[in-house]
Amino acid sequence: MSDQKEPKVIIVGSGPAGYTAGIYLGRANIPNLLFEGEQPGGQLTITTEVENYPAFPDGIDGPELMMKFRAQAERFGTEIKGETVTSIDMSSRPFKVTTNAGEYSVPSVIIASGSTARWLGLPGEEDFFGKGLSACATCDGFFFRDQEIAVVGGGDTALEEAIYLTNFATKVTLVHRRDELRGSKIMQDRALAHPKIEMAWNSTIDKYVPDENGNLVAVTLLDTVNGEKRDLAVSGCFIAIGHTPNTQFLGGQLTMDENGYLITNADRTSTNVEGIFACGDVQDHFYRQAITSAGTGCMAAMESERWLGENGL
């Protein structure tokens, strides 16, 4: 390894949880190495304005907030590498962490690998990536200026994306499979009152309709109550139906729930393997907020620090 001090802790992931763990470890004088993964900065880098992160009364852009997290971790000595962890061998100690670029030995690991946006899983869905289908309004909204768009989902992400997309689109249809939204009351009120947003209740997407060049021109909606189908002409469709925890690289060595979220000990971030801690969205399917992720990142760092100390490491 190129760094002078061997890391005592490897942090997997660069969202609010991972960087907060780095900040706390750095300030505790514990050498730590953070792997950014495939989406440096995590999910907040593909979100619009963050209005609910405390201490930013006027809101802050997601990417800017993550740059601040990163800078603060670097200030206290976190070494940051743009590598992705592909496996961790927990069968012997120190643990062996393998990335797409190398292999590292370390006594303690903090898993902060977050979760990834889900797709509908319709046949040929990937064919529409870059041709009208997206899971990131911030990244792609601009391409749909003065056009009609559909957003799928009924949670806060879908509501937020729908509202954001009204900045570009002439009309946004929010396609939701039930007759009741899941998102928070304030976001529901904003979306339902918005003159450019129309609801397609009790509806799912049956298929994407391409033009002769493969570009999306419509989605076929299926009414979940009466089974009727109808085409909705849109040139953009944004999928916002939740996330899958990024735990595949762990190969089932840590205890997970039925959806793949890591299970930690009660009121702790410790896992079933001593010395391995988990924080942020990869172990939290309930709150899933930047502030709660940062909070559990702090917990993981403190627990890791104490565990290293107790074990003379």
Restricted to residues 285-304, the positions that interact with ligand NDP (CB under 6 A) are 288
Number of H helices, E strands in the chain: 6, 20
Q: Has 139 been annotated as catalytic?
A: yes
Kindly state whether residue 5 participates in binding ligand NDP, applying the rule CB under 6 A: no
Q: Has 140 been annotated as catalytic?
A: yes
DSSP class of residue 120? -
Which listed residue (242, 292, 298, 313) binds ligand NDP by CB under 6 A? 242
Which string of x and - marks every residue 88-117 that binds ligand NDP (by CB under 6 A)?
------------------------------
CB nearer to ligand NDP: give 22 or 62: 62
| CA triple 153-155-158, angle to 5 deg | 55
Kindly state whether residue 154 participates in binding ligand NDP, applying the rule CB under 6 A: yes
Which residues have C-beta within 8 Å of that of residue 86, sequence separation ≥ 6? 98, 99, 100, 249
Tell me which amino acid residue 83 is: E
DSSP class of residue 6? P
Restricted to residues 196-215, the positions that interact with ligand NDP (CB under 6 A) are 204
Which listed residue (5, 178, 268, 306) binds ligand NDP by CB under 6 A? 178
Q: Has 267 been annotated as catalytic?
A: no
Distance from C-alpha of 28 to C-alpha of 148, rounded to nearest angstrom: 52
Distance from C-alpha of 126 to C-alpha of 73, rounded to nearest angstrom: 36
Smallest separation (angstroms) from ligand NDP to the CB of 160: 5
Smallest separation (angstroms) from ligand NDP to the CB of 176: 6
- Please tell me the count of residues contacting ligand NDP according to CB under 6 A: 20
Q: Indicate which residues carry an active-site annotation.
A: 136, 139-140
Q: Which parts of this chain interact with ligand NDP (CB under 6 A)? A: 52, 120, 152-158, 160, 177-178, 182, 184, 204, 240-243, 288
